[in-house]
Structure 1
């Protein structure tokens, strides 16, 4: 689905990312974790052609088409075909002057749907994220943070993407709403066979939902493992420290084995 080989990024003479590689199959979830400033969000932007990275290979295979070399695709364009984003702050991501329905429908305006078809598509997208159709009439200031993030998820989903990039999608929400929206994300992924790439600080979330783990530290890869192996046999001392710190803070379930380490190394 998405293969990255030896991606590197430098800005103003400073190395931001060094030889980052991963291979993500269709319909699975990659969680990218690490300290603040480790290059997680920069990696998302670089993979979308929004930052001037170099790489040996960067390939993307949509559901209904051949593999695409993004080096060629990005000549005059950015982004990945058939992909969407969900950002950390939903209220900043939504136009405060527009009702949610119009913000959600923007993703399919290019399809030139008839008014009734567009209304039906918006209502269906809202239902997919467990919001009532009446939410389409409300503006961002009239809904909760959780409802706003569900609206952002509906805006991504209405276009029926192959891949969704999430940049800290739950960190602005309270713990109960985080769990509810995480469950909605997983249900949507399973139903529509969507691939997820998720930047997160939350190892508890990653333990519950990730198929693959990519751990960054100072722009370098500390681990590139299946989630199962990462939590059972982490590849480096730093990863063991991350897991130990999450246990000490109560952020991991007891089903994840405890490993030796110290939270002193963590600056998330």
Structure 2
């Protein structure tokens, strides 16, 4: 079931989203050479605590996972697409890092992700990041009253395919509100004019994921969570929680 939010509920989701945006800014500032992924998770925990928020990621266990997620955010490096567990790995110059996090505040959730380069970027990584961000912007722009979910999916997927990138088919965006994952699913590829019609008050997490090598396939790491590219190529992932409104899409996870 898709729940339509009223103005007060959208404002409450904006406050949860503001916490998420603040975490992503703080983590990106802290992500320098020789910093461990576990230290980045501690940065996120500090922001959550200071905001009086909790993490919907911590101890989350969907059907595909063999164990609960042990951190408050996912940190995926280089060939990791999504769901990386922040452990002892220390960042190196040129690493491509994806950070995905959420926050729950006063019963409402926000979810967003950024990808970036630590230190010196290479041209291939810069192109991958720029394309993934453009796809997110296009997906958000398509999230207007009267459009359909397929319009968002088509906007995202068209940009990724035109660049020659792979798109993991089983993972994408989703509805969000009182829980981090709600109806509907928002795939990263689809046919325009298809799917659920968008209405004022719908809230969605739109999250492009692109694989530089061009293949859609992925594999699970030994930890049971991290999804890796099968060809060893790099991947990027970006995300915002947005509201569909009569005045156009409203981004809820800016800091």
**What is the TM-score normalised by the length of structure 2?**
0.28
**What is the TM-score normalised by the length of structure 1?**
0.27
- Higher-Rg structure is 1
